[in-house]
Amino acid sequence: MNRSKFKLSILFIFFLVSLLMLSSCGSNQPTAKDRMEDYVKAWQKQDFSKMYSLLSKKSQKSVSKTDFISRYKRIYEGIEAGKVKASVKENAKKEGTVQLKATLDTVAGPVKFSQSVQLKEEKRKEKQNWYISWKPGMILPGMKADSKVRVDTLSSTRGEIVDRNGKPLAINGSAARIDLIPGKMGTDSEKAQTINKLTDLLGVSKEQIDQALAASWVKVDSLVPITTIDATKTDLVKQATQLPGVVKTNVESRVYPDKNASAHLTGYVGKMTAELLKKHQNEGYNANSVIGKTGLELLFEKQLRQRDGASIILLDSAGAEVGTIAKKAPVNGQNIQLTIDRNVQDALYSQLKKDAGTGVAIDPRNGDILGLVSAPAYNPNDFVLGISSSAYNKLSNNAKQPLMNRFTSASAPGSTFKPLTAAIALTHKAIDPQQQIAIKGTKWQANKSWGDYYVTRLDHDPEVNLEEALFRSDNIYFAQAALKIGGSTFAADAKKFGFGESLPIQYPMRKSTISNDGKLDSDSLLANSGYGQGQVSVNPLHLSLIYSAFVNDGSMIKPRLIKTNDPPTFWKKNVMSADIAQLLNKDLIQVIDNPAGTAHDAKINGLTIAGKTGTPEFKKKQGKSGRENGWFVAYNTDDPRLMVTMIVENTQKHGGSHYVTPKVKNVFEKVLNK
């Protein structure tokens, strides 16, 4: 090869390498698609400053950075802009053109973009790059430079709660807002008098009223809201609106027509708090939402809650509607019909409202819960409207604890537990129901190892059988029966009745327990458990379900709180034989019918009732006085359709269970029209 050819070959190779290097360098330059994707990333972060930096010079001349950022922020905050999903495709036929497809989540649902975007090559700071030819339609489709946007809320309603007959328990109604008109309040002296009287009437502080009147927007003819109260408090509304410059305005509100009687059952709704909003993030709530705070309002929040819709309306420069960018229809909450009978609920509460206690009523044939009452209670309307701190403190400091829900709790059932002991003893043939058991005196102990402790009884005979032990409520008989059953057998059989389990119902109830550890491994604990003391703890609804076995041939009914046409089912089948259930049912009638029965004062002419009383004791030392609760469980036996379990606390000075029996009698007379 001659030298000239060699030089040409070297030059050719150098030329190829140079071309390859230039080609390589060129491939690192962003394409129009790359730059549009950078814009999308900034858009997804709502980094409007970054977005503006990617605009072409011509676009930047059409809108200042300040206006660009403020307009995006104002519009996107108004429409509650959220996630952006986007794809960018290059237009192979037209250089510098890309196809943008995107969806933007908003309060009115997704807004869809499908736009052809032109990019221009510009040199900035010695670098050549692509920049977006921006148009207002990239904020929202259809927008122009002078366009405006309006967001309309499409109102929805919260689901309502009604009883089995359609009577309202939690509904959408109205409340009375108390407003002031500054120009009609008179002289300074008259104004001060009005404010002082409102403070006394409404429980609103003078500082709160002064602050409302001093707001920058207030004019002489303005309606200045002070507080909102229950519209049914007509006397209070009348007293307030008779003052100069005070008027009432009806406003939408959640209303609880049954007030205190159903307070712990329905619970109440309240305004969304920052804490709750964080807890329910991404669930469609906002700062203005209403949410269930307690009771059924909380438990059934998902079914009851409303979901407002919204429309994003495009307007021209004059404010006229041009079109709808996005629209989401409102969704009303579901109505819920309970098995509760408001007549039963009110009958229970009328007997308990002056005491601390609880009442549960069921239909033992089908498990329908007819009443769940806790007393004393509160007016849920006060809470939904915003209870004052003084009113709340009065409730929370009340010794009877009106804010505590008692029908969900569990406590010692006393002698109402004896039928369960009898059922277990009969199942294991530990006792003969006809056998007369000789028991001397009013106190007994199994052996000397019990020391100074004795099981005691009140009304007694020297010899008693099962029937007499039930209607006289003989503690010694059932303590001995428990020992005959044996601790391990008793504890195991208690589980068959649902002890240690959650009740199969939507409303959470405390579990019933036979003892702290589920065992009965000492004779004294076993003996005490036999008559419902020791460490036995029973929920009142659970006790009702146990008693339902006496009218269902030995099976415990499954409770129902939501009204249904489905046939009833059993929670626990065959916890005792049909013969044992019928025997105990017959014996429990004597608790009321026999003149010596502990609930004879509950007898109603023309209505056969079976039941059992109980007076659990909470004493630090045997033989000393102490706190007692009164219990009574009763049901009608002919076509049984009402079973009531009632507990009243601190009955030690009122005759124990004898304080409760007339109350339950009154409920039966009221509900069954006897």
Q: Which residues are catalytic?
A: 415
Structure tokens at 354: 């002056």
Q: How far apart are the first and last CA of the chain?
A: 130
Q: What is the DSSP string of 496-538?
A: HTTTTS--SSSS--PPPBSSSSS---SHHHHHHHTTT-TT-BB
Cβ atoms of 347 and 664 within 8 Å: the answer is: no
User: Locate tokens 């129009």: which residue?
Assistant: 32
Q: Where are the alpha helices (DSSP H) in 322-417?
A: 342-352, 380-384, 389-396
Q: Is 201 exposed, middle or buried (0-12, 13-18, 19+ CB in 10 A)?
A: middle
Q: Minimal CA–CA distance to 613: which of 571, 651, 577, 559? A: 651
Q: What is the DSSP string of 146-209?
A: T-EEEEEEE---PPPEE-TTS-EEEEEEEEEEEEE-GGGS-SHHHHHHHHHHHHHHH---HHHH
Cβ atoms of 473 and 596 within 8 Å: the answer is: no
Q: How far apart are CA 243 and CA 300, in angstroms?
A: 42
Cβ atoms of 251 and 228 within 8 Å: the answer is: yes
Q: How far apart are CA 106 and CA 103, in angstroms?
A: 9
- The CA-atom distances, in angstroms, between 504 and each of 359, 507, 538, 542, 551 are 19, 9, 15, 10, 20
Structure tokens at 15: 């030329």
SS (H, E, C) 268-332: CEEECCHHHHHHCCCCCCCCCCEEECCHHHHHCHHHHCCECEEEEEEECCCCCEEEEEEEECCEC
Q: How far apart are CA 257 and CA 338, in angstroms?
A: 15
Three-point CA angle 355, 359, 363, nearest 5°: 160
Phi/psi of residue 16, nearest 5 degrees: -65, -45
Q: How far apart are CA 376 and CA 420, in angstroms?
A: 30
User: Locate tokens 């959220």: which residue?
Assistant: 82
How many CB atoms are closer than 10 A to CB 221? 9
Q: List, in order, residues 6 or more apart from 668 with CB less than 8 Å away.
A: 602, 604, 607, 609, 634, 636, 642, 644, 674
CA dihedral of 276, 279, 285, 287, whole degrees rounded to 10: 40
Q: How far apart are CA 30 and CA 34, in angstroms?
A: 6
Phi/psi of residue 549, nearest 5 degrees: -65, -25
Q: List, in order, residues 6 or more apart from 55 with CB less than 8 Å away.
A: 68, 131, 132, 134
Cβ atoms of 462 and 477 within 8 Å: the answer is: no
